[in-house]
């Protein structure tokens, strides 16, 4: 597994959490920009968790993934990941414009399955968005 983040502090938090769960030795932590590293990545699955622009996303009725993820935009980020694999998890806020997300299925030659999770897990639960795998 590879973990990429442009922020060294967030990457260190991820490393700390992985150590707590005893899986740090199975993860390669890379500090860098996913967009720049993408041409060199080989992966079966990609889980995207881009920055949402701070707490201001909560004040919007609808989160626009193109303007809020500027300068690259959500669609371009998806296209970059889609060149690596068709198996993409995309972590976005619950007020995301679902019409924008649903068009991603038309970008692949396969019939992509788009699922928007609208339920919020209880605070005392442990949730792993995307997929899980035994270590």
**pLDDT for 131 beyond 60:** no
Residue scoring higher pLDDT (132 or 94): 94
Tell me, what's the pLDDT at 58? 82
Tell me, what's the pLDDT at 105? 63
Q: Does the predicted model carry a pTM greater than 0.75?
A: no
Tell me, what's the pLDDT at 54? 78
Give residue-wise pLDDT tens across range 10-60: 999 999 999 999 999 999 999 999 999 999 999 988 988 888 877 888 888
CATH superfamily, domain at 33-120: Vaccinia Virus protein VP39 (3.40.50.150)
CB 14 within 8 A of CB 21: no
CB 98 within 8 A of CB 88: no
CB 13 within 8 A of CB 39: no
Q: How far apart are CA 73 and CA 53, in angstroms?
A: 12
Domain ranges of the chain: 1-32, 33-120
């Amino acid at each position: 597994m590879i973990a990429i983040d442009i922020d060294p502090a967030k990457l260190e938090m991820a490393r700390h959490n992985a150590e707590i769960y005893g899986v740090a030795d199975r993860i390669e932590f890379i500090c860098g920009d996913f967009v720049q590293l993408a041409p060199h990545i080989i992966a079966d699955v990609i889980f995207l968790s881009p920055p949402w622009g701070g707490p201001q996303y909560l004040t919007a009725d609808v989160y626009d993934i193109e303007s809020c993820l500027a300068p690259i935009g959500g669609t371009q980020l998806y296209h970059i990941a889609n060149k690596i694999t068709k198996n993409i998890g995309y972590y976005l806020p619950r007020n995301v414009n679902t019409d924008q997300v649903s068009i991603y299925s038309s970008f692949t030659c396969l019939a992509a399955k788009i699922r928007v999770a609208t339920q919020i897990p209880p605070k005392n639960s442990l949730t792993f968005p995307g997929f899980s795998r035994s270590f």
